[in-house]
Chain A
Amino acid sequence: LAKTTQPISMDSYEGQEVNITCSHNNIATNDYITWYQQFPSQGPRFIIQGYKTKVTNEVASLFIPADRKSSTLSLPRVSLSDTAVYYCLVGFKAAGNKLTFGGGTRVLVKP
C-alpha cells in the first residue's frame, strides 16, 4: 500500500510557479501517480497523471525521478483561481490494490 506525503500548505503569488512535491517511498512497479485539484464544495478534479520521467499538459507538468519515490507537480504562472487543495494519488487498477489519496496540499495564491 503506497502511502503519500505532501506539504500541508503553500503560499504563492500570482504569476509565480508553484511546485508541490509528493513522497511515495513504497510505490509499486505498476503504480501510476495522479494529481487532483479540489475547490471548496466541489469534488476533486483530475489534473495530470504519469508513470515516469516528465508529463506535461495544458495546465501542469509532472516530474518523476528515475527511482519514482517522489513526484513534483508544477503549476506555471498561477492565478488566484488556482487557490485550491491539491492531492497526490498513487495506485493501480489491479484488484486488491487500494488507491490512497495523500493528505493534500492547500495552495493559497495571493494577489
Chain B
Amino acid sequence: DARVTQTPRHKVTEMGQEVTMRCQPILGHNTVFWYRQTMMQGLELLAYFRNRAPLDDSGMPKDRFSAEMPDATLATLKIQPSEPRDSAVYFCASAWEGTGSYEQYFGPGTRLTVT
C-alpha cells in the first residue's frame, strides 16, 4: 500500500530556530504539494511542484519559507527563522498528473509548535 511519508511527525522548537520538514511522495507521482492547516485558516496551499519544478509558491511567506525537491523521492519545506505563528500542521501530498484531473494522496502531517 503506497503512502506518502513525512518526517518528523512532531516538532517543537523555539522561535528563531530553523525547521526542516521532509516528505517522500509516492513512487511514480510527479506532483507534490505542501499545505498548512490551522484552526483559524483551515487548509492552505503553500506550494506545489510538478516533475520537481516549482509551479506555484504564492501561498508561502517568501521571506522565511522555502520549498525544494532535491530529487524525485524527497521534498523539503524549510522555515528560517521560525515564529510562533508558524505553529500548525504541515501536510505533504502527492499525485500523478495524467489525463484529466488527479487524486491527491496526503501524508500524516508534521505538527509544528514554535514557542
Contacts and interface: CB of A to CB of B under 8 A. Distances in A.
A43 B103 contact: no
Interface string B88-102: 000101000100111
Interface residues of A, number: 23
A49 B98 CA distance: 14
Interface residues of B, number: 26
Give the dominant DSSP class at A's interface: loop
Interface in A44-78: 44-46, 49, 51
Given A91-B101, A93-B97, A44 B50 contact: no
Given A44-B43, A101-B45, A32 B100 contact: yes
B93 A43 contact: yes
Residue with the greatest number of chain A CB neighbours at <10 A, chosen from B33, B48, B104, B109: B104
A98 B56 contact: yes
A37 to B, nearest CB: 11
B55 interface: yes
A95 B100 CA distance: 13
A34 B33 CA distance: 16
A43 B108 contact: yes
Interface in A21-41: 32, 34, 36, 41
Given A98-B58, A104-B42, A43 B101 contact: no
Given A32-B100, A43-B109, A49-B103, A96 B55 contact: yes
Contacts of A46: 103-105
B42 A93 contact: no
B107 interface: yes
Contact of A43 (B45, B58, B91, B97): B91
Given A34-B101, A36-B104, A93-B100, 10 more contacts: A32-B100, A43-B91, A44-B93, A45-B106, A46-B103, A49-B103, A51-B100, A101-B44, A101-B45, A104-B42
Interface of B: 4, 31, 33, 42-45, 48, 50, 55-56, 58-59, 91, 93, 97, 100-109
Interface of A: 32, 34, 36, 41-46, 49, 51, 87, 91-93, 95-96, 98-101, 103-104
